[in-house]
Amino acid sequence: MAASPPVCDFGWKAPDFRLPATAGTSRGLADIAGPKGTLVMFICNHCSYVLAVLDRIIRDARELQALGVGVVAISSNDADAYPDDSFENMARMAAERDFSFPYLYDAGQSVARAFGAACTPDFFGFDASGRLQYRGRLDASRKQAGPPDLRRDLFEAMKQIAETGEGPREQIPSMGCSIKWKDV
């Protein structure tokens, strides 16, 4: 089912975390934070919305890292119910797609809950002090990638944050598959 997150809560402080990375280490927010800002992306392996734009996510992450923005992706889906989202499959995808950013596994889903993540993809763009400045979409793509000349909403917002410390006031929420929560 498609889901959309709430609008940006400007100034909200990024919660700290430490999660296992597909590269065999664990990473925390301080390890990932960039000198010009930090992008935290909730994605997963099986979501059609993520898969439609994964090449764009990878491209934008590389370009943002070159601008001094730290980038991380987190998968919080219930891998028992969705085996494509298992840690092993995450590691395979990160290697096959040559992720330039850490891909972390939130098996207990506590990080997704702390962030209030709603869907995959869900993007959280923080300034250099860890305050939320962007919670919007990658671009106008949905379940299929839009034309290659779409405005790069996420990239432009994060570039603005890196340059000025402030995100755009007008933001369009992301849309994607709902987070697959575990039964509690």
What distances in angstroms separate CA 28 from CA 31, 78, 150, one per listed residue?
A: 5, 21, 33
| Per-residue pLDDT reduced to its tens digit, 97-115 | 999 999 999 999 999 999 9
Q: Give me the chain's average pLDDT, please.
A: 95
Question: Where residue 96 falls among pLDDT bands split at 50, 70, 90?
Answer: very high
Q: Examine the pLDDT at 4 and tell me if it is beyond 80.
A: no
Q: Examine the pLDDT at 2 and tell me if it is beyond 70.
A: no
CA distance 26 to 46: 23
What distances in angstroms separate CA 119 from CA 46, 135, 143, one per listed residue?
A: 12, 12, 13
Please work out, in degrees rounded to the nearest 5, the angle formed at the alpha carbon of residue 178 by the alpha carbons of 84 and 112: 85
Give the percent of the chain with pLDDT over 70. Answer: 97
Domain range 2-178, its CATH number among 3.40.190.10, 3.40.50.720, 3.30.1340.30, 3.40.30.10: 3.40.30.10
Q: Examine the pLDDT at 1 and tell me if it is beyond 70.
A: no
Question: Where residue 5 falls among pLDDT bands split at 50, 70, 90?
Answer: confident
Q: What is the pLDDT of residue 66?
A: 98
CA distance 43 to 52: 12
Cβ-Cβ contacts under 8 Å for 129 (sequence gap 6 or more): 165
Q: Which residue has the higher pLDDT, 183 or 138?
A: 138
Burial level of 85, CB count in 10 A (0-12/13-18/19+)?
A: buried
